[in-house]
Amino acid sequence: MNVAGGQLMGATGVIVDGSSYNVAFLDGTCIALYDGCDDASDFTFQTAAAATLASQALLDQVFLDGIGLFDSNPGLTNGLTHANTGSALTPYYALFDDQGVAAVRLSMAVNVSVAGWGGETVDWVLPGGSYGYAHIADSSGVPGPVPATNVYAVWSIVPEPGTASLLGFGLAALAVKGRRRHPLS
């Protein structure tokens, strides 16, 4: 987990459907955080099912109490200021209706700690498509005294070690080959 000053900033090595991802929790607009927020290629996850799996991974692997009380106190997550509830938004781009209208949709990992329920923590995922349009959404909430309850989960895939190793071996081979052609005097 990436924790700074007691705030959960993100996490590395989150496993979603067999692949490893890094995630950062960021405030802002979808347009600013996702390269315009207007094309499927702007997003790490391309389908409702994939975005929903990512949201479930946040609950199962990241928001668990352990290093910090990130599950029982959602306000400890970067961008969230409400102590009792918070949602991490994972956007994707999809057809909205049978007319072929494309729109940005969201899956949400909802993290709630409610004192009225005996202080218990309740988590759930709202599946992809079940939460509004993200293309104009600002995750930072209403300015003023209203606490922020949404933050974007910005995902990036972690390259497989095999890919990095192959690149390293290739570069080393080129260096050795270059030295053979130009021996030192």
* Identity at 122, one-letter amino acid code: V
For 21, phi and psi rounded to 5 degrees? -135, 155
Q: Which residues contact 126 (CB under 8 A, 6 or more apart)?
A: 55, 106, 107, 108, 110
Asked, for residue 183, whether it belongs to a domain, the answer is: no
Asked, for residue 31, whether it belongs to a domain, the answer is: yes
pLDDT tens for each residue of 12-23:
999 999 999 999
- Per the structure, the count of domains in the chain is 1
Asked, for residue 138, whether it belongs to a domain, the answer is: yes
Asked, for residue 144, whether it belongs to a domain, the answer is: yes
Write out the two tokens for 45.
């996850």
Give the domain range for residue 39.
2-160
Asked, for residue 171, whether it belongs to a domain, the answer is: no
Asked, for residue 55, whether it belongs to a domain, the answer is: yes
Asked, for residue 46, whether it belongs to a domain, the answer is: yes
Per-residue pLDDT of the chain (185 residues; tens, 9 = 90+): 899 999 999 999 999 999 999 999 998 888 889 888 878 899 999 888 899 899 999 989 998 877 778 888 888 899 888 878 888 888 888 766 656 666 777 788 887 766 545 556 678 887 766 554 544 455 554 444 456 788 899 999 998 766 556 666 666 766 666 666 666 65
Asked, for residue 181, whether it belongs to a domain, the answer is: no
* Identity at 118, one-letter amino acid code: G
102 beta partners:
95
